[in-house]
Amino acid sequence: MAETGERGLAQRSFDEQELVPLLTACTRDGDRALLDHPRYLEAIGFPGAGPARAGDVWRHLVGELRGKEPGFEEHEPALDVILNEGCLARRIVGSLGPEPSRARLEGAYRELARCLDAGEPFHAKG
C-alpha cells in the first residue's frame, strides 16, 4: 500500500477494539512498546512486517513528514528530543538518576515547570 490514499483507507478500516492492545502497550511502555500487528504497520507505511518498537514507528513517521509538510520544521526540535531521549516519562525517570530521592524528584519537577514556562523541551539530566 505505497499510495497515501490507499493507506488512509486501510487506516480507517480498523475496528477500535483491534487497536486497544496497541494503545495499551504504548500507554504502559511508551516508545519501547512492542507493536506486533503486521496489518497496522503496513497501513501506516512502516517497512517490514514487524514487530516494531513504537519509538521506531514514530521515527519512521517523522521521517516521512520531514520536508514534506508545510510548517513541520517548527516542530522538529521537540520531536527530535522525543525521538532521541524518549517520551517525557522516560526523561523524568532518567533525570532522577540511579538513586532517586525526594530532593531529586523535586528538582526534576522544578526543571519541568521551568521548561514549560519557557516553552523549552525537558531533557533528562541524570
pLDDT at 115 (0 to 100): 96
State how beta strands 34-35 and 52-53 pair.
antiparallel
SS3 68: coil
Q: Say how many residues make up the chain.
A: 126
pLDDT of residue 13: 84
C-alpha cell at 44: 501506516
Whether 24 and 33 have beta carbons less than 8 Å apart is answered as no
Most confident of 40-44, 47-51, 63-67, 114-118: 114-118
Confidence band for 67, pLDDT divided at 50, 70 and 90: confident
Q: What is the arithmetic mean of pLDDT over 71-85?
A: 90
Could you give the CA distance from residue 108 to residue 58 in angstroms, rounded to a whole number?
A: 26
Q: What is the reported pTM?
A: 0.77
Cell of 6: 490507499
Read off the C-alpha cell for 126.
Answer: 541524570
